Structure formats: C-alpha cells, structure tokens
Amino acid sequence: MQVVRCHRRSSSNDVVVSTLPLYRSAPPLEVRLEDFELFAMDRLRVLKGISDGLSRGKKPEEIAKLAMDHWKANMRYPQATEDVNKDNISHFVLRLVYCRTEELRKWFLSMETALFRYRFHSESSEAQRALMSEFNLPYKAVSNAEFESVKDKLVQVARSMGQTLLPADAIFYKVPFEEVSELVAGRRVFIHKGHAYVAMNQVVSLVVTQFRSNLSKALILTNRKWTSTIREQEKDRLTPIVEALCTSYLGPDYSQPKEFAEISIKDIDQIAKTSFPLCMRHLFEKVREDHHLKHGGRMQLGLFLKGVGLKVDDALAFWKAEFAQKVGAERFDKEYAYNIRHNYGREGKRTDYTPYSCQKVILSTPGVGDHHGCPYRHFSEENLRAALARMGVGSRIVEDVIDKARNRHYQLACTLTFEAVHGSSCDAGINHPNQYFIESQKILQSKNGSMAQ
C-alpha cells in the first residue's frame, strides 16, 4: 500500500511532520474492499463517541479527552504511516456515506469539525503553525522584537481573563481586528493600529472555521459526483457498503437474546408496559388495536421481539392471534408466516436477521399508515407529549424530553424517558431498543428481587 505522509514546512522552513491531514483530495491509494469498510467503521466509532458526549451535555474538556481516547483506541497502528493512511481513507469513505442528505451532511460536518479541533489542539505548536500556513490564512506570527514591545499590554489582557503569566513560548498573530469581532467584543485581545494580537489558542477557532467551510463545500461536491459522474459499475460495488455504513450500529449484537432470555406470550403485555422503549411499545399497542401492521412495523417489532427472547413458535402464535382477526388464519399462513420464519433464519437464505438499532430506526422513513420509526423523531410534538404522559413521565421531564427531540437528540430524549420511568440513571445512553429492554429488566429485577413479570 502506498504511504501518504503529512510533511509540512514550518515558518523557519524546517520540515514538520504532523499527523493531521487537511483532507484536500482523496489519497491515490489502492484500498481493499474490507479495509474500505473496516476503516470507516473505526472512524465512525470515534465520531459517534463525540456525538454521544455532546448530546449528553459533557463539558468541552471532557469531550476533548473522550475524542482523543476514542481516536487512540480505534485509529492507531504501531506504524505512524499506516495511521495516516487509515485516517485519510476512512475520512473519504465517510464523506461518501454522509454526503447524500442534508441531515447526514450536517451531522458529519459537526463531528469531523469537532474532531479536527481536538486533534489540532493536541499537535505541537510548530505543527499547528505549519497547518495554519497550509490553510493560507494571511496571518503572520509576531516577531520576538515586536512581542517584547507589546508584552506588557498582552500581559494586561491575559490578567483580565484570569491568566497570571504568559507562557514562555507564547505565540501571537496579528489579525485585522474586524476579522475577530467576537474576541474584540469580549475584550479578549489587545488592539494596536487596526490589528488585534491574537494568541495561538484563539487562532485555533479561525483554523477550525476554515476547515469546516472547506469540508462543507467538499461534501456538496462529493454528493454531486456520487449521483452524476461515478461509473455505474463502481457504484454497484460500493452502494451496499455505503448504505450499510450509514445505518451501521457499532455496539453489542442483540440478534440472539442474552440476558433475560425467553419471554412467553402470556407475559408479553405486562413486559411491553414496563420494559419496551416507546418505539416498540407504540407498535405493540397498534398491533393489539388494529390487528395488523405494515411491513416496516412487522420487521421493526418482529426482530425486536426475537432479540428479547420470543421463540419462533411463540412469535408465529402471537402474530397469528392478531392478524387472523383481520385477514383470517388462512391468509395469515399464506402471506405473513413465511416472513416471520424468515426473520428467524428458518426460510430463504437462512440468515439470522438482527434487531434494528436506534440509528436504523431513526433514519427510517415511515409513510402514511406506517407505525414504525422512532417516536422522538417521527411523532408530532402533541402525540409525543401524550405518549410520554401515558408512560407516566412527569410534566417537567416531558418538557426536557421534548426539548431534546426538538434539537434532534432523539436517543438522549429516549434516555431521559428511560431514567424518568425507571427512577435510575442510564449513563451509557440508549443506542438500541434491545439495550433499553435489557437495562430495564436489570433494574426491575434488582428492585423485585426476581424477574419482572
């Protein structure tokens, strides 16, 4: 595999090796299809880690630590050169995955920008300066002589912000003051003859803004290329991977019931009330009410029930008891039973199908008459309020949940609901409907001293 290194020249013209690429163009590398996917999944773990931290309201320094820990755990090789290749390849694969809708682009842009910010911070100051010059930002570092002439003023500004001393290796840039209006308004810079003296850690935000703007344009271009110019043959090969990555779930596998295995039909109504997340509770109530569910709903609920331990014969009995009331037993056997056995790997390719993750449920697009999807995303505010009230969530928490849902933090909204309903925290956050079920059963079991009935 060809190696891409990030050599840059510092202002003193020495070669500086930075591990942080600017992703200007896709690297000319031969990539095996499995690396294409694996590298992207590893990067996705880092971005999801940042996203979870942000939506749980962690402090910036906590998220920075989290991001770098995830980066080390998922993106590091013993050889630094391979790191750089993986970094480049995974970024460009995810561009393909996340360029395709406004919503995906927005998420990717925010997470990649946050990651860039934390990685930029962790670079040496030489590498940071080299990166800045690569962005062609027209700012010059203040010379030693000039620094000495304004040092007292800079110290005064630093003091006013609670810093006592300037670090010995402090670097300042002269920037036209109108370009840093926020810093000027906050009196966080010294201004002289139309220039603001901006400290290195303040310049970071200018670099990050530039990075974000470049990536935003690049995502639009990638989307255009993907839809118009990429060769059909290549598209056929890549589309299944790109689509799967977009909804890929990176947590534990819930295809087989693990803890609290086996639920029986006689317990199912009670368990649905106590331990199903809202998405499944809604589907369950609908099938009981209408004696029917369209395909999307049958898949979402059917695979969930399989994951929580409903055996195939019980599943057939459960669906038949409902559907027979609407379409008759004979039609059920002919048209619907096959699909249920199929989900359990008893028909067709005998694949064992996996219950849907939150990500997949949230990104689904229910149409008229469908009941699948995630209520925090797909319900109207009014319906969501009513559903939460039926679950026994108090009005103050309902407002918090609605606020999270409005701001598109659907899983966090679900986590808050879980915590309210169970009176217990869920630090890991909800990532999977089957995880919701297991966590719920754990709590109920410890409260009751035996399996909740």
Does 277 interact with ligand SF4 (rule: CB under 6 A)?
Answer: yes
Among 307, 309, 375, 429, binds ligand SF4 (CB under 6 A): 375
Does 361 interact with ligand SF4 (rule: CB under 6 A)?
Answer: yes
Q: Closest separation between CB of residue 376 and ligand SF4, Å?
A: 5
Does 411 interact with ligand SF4 (rule: CB under 6 A)?
Answer: yes
The stretch near ligand SF4 (CB under 6 A) out of 186-194, 205-213, 221-229, 373-381 is: 373-381
For residues 308 and 355, what is the distance between their CA atoms, to the nearest angstrom? 9
- 47 by Cβ neighbours in 10 Å (0-12 / 13-18 / 19+) ranks as buried
The stretch near ligand SF4 (CB under 6 A) out of 129-137, 184-192, 215-223, 354-362 is: 354-362
x/- mask, ligand SF4, residues 231-270, rule CB under 6 A, reads ----------------------------------------
Among 268, 374, 387, 452, binds ligand SF4 (CB under 6 A): 374
Picking from 186, 180, 181, the residue whose alpha carbon sits closest to that of residue 203 is 180
Does 414 interact with ligand SF4 (rule: CB under 6 A)?
Answer: yes
Residue among 69 and 253 whose Cβ is closer to ligand SF4: 253
CA distances from 268 to 312, 319, 350 (A): 14, 12, 26
Q: Closest separation between CB of residue 406 and ligand SF4, Å?
A: 15
Q: Closest separation between CB of residue 372 and ligand SF4, Å?
A: 10
Picking from 99, 107, 328, 80, the residue whose alpha carbon sits closest to that of residue 227 is 99
What residue type is 382 in one-letter code? Answer: E
The stretch near ligand SF4 (CB under 6 A) out of 143-151, 234-242, 334-342, 370-378 is: 370-378
Q: Closest separation between CB of residue 355 and ligand SF4, Å?
A: 11
Q: Closest separation between CB of residue 392 and ligand SF4, Å?
A: 16
Number of H helices, E strands in the chain: 21, 6
**Burial call 420-437: b when 16+ CB within 10 Å, e when fewer:** bbbeeebeebbbbbbbbb
CB 350 within 8 A of CB 343: no
Does 387 interact with ligand SF4 (rule: CB under 6 A)?
Answer: no
Picking from 91, 78, 82, the residue whose alpha carbon sits closest to that of residue 40 is 91
Does 440 interact with ligand SF4 (rule: CB under 6 A)?
Answer: no
CB 326 within 8 A of CB 290: yes
The stretch near ligand SF4 (CB under 6 A) out of 90-98, 251-259, 272-280, 306-314 is: 272-280
Element (H, E) at 17: strand 15-17
The phi and psi torsions of 175 (rounded to 5 degrees) equal: -130, 135
Residue among 245 and 414 whose Cβ is closer to ligand SF4: 414
What residue type is 313 in one-letter code? Answer: D
The stretch near ligand SF4 (CB under 6 A) out of 31-39, 113-121, 319-327, 368-376 is: 368-376
The phi and psi torsions of 429 (rounded to 5 degrees) equal: 75, 160
Residue among 183 and 421 whose Cβ is closer to ligand SF4: 421
Picking from 379, 380, 361, the residue whose alpha carbon sits closest to that of residue 307 is 361
Residue among 207 and 308 whose Cβ is closer to ligand SF4: 308
H helices of 370-426, where? Answer: 375-378, 381-390, 395-406, 410-422
- 3-state secondary structure (DSSP) of residue 393: coil
Among 66, 207, 246, 278, binds ligand SF4 (CB under 6 A): 278
Does 304 interact with ligand SF4 (rule: CB under 6 A)?
Answer: no
CB atoms under 10 Å from CB of 379, counted, come to 19
Q: Does 374 show up as a binding residue in the annotation?
A: yes
For the annotated binding site, the residues are 279, 358, 374, 414
Residues that bind ligand SF4 (CB under 6 A): 277-279, 358, 361-362, 374-376, 410-411, 414, 430, 433, 436
For the annotated binding site for [4Fe-4S] cluster, the residues are 279, 358, 374, 414
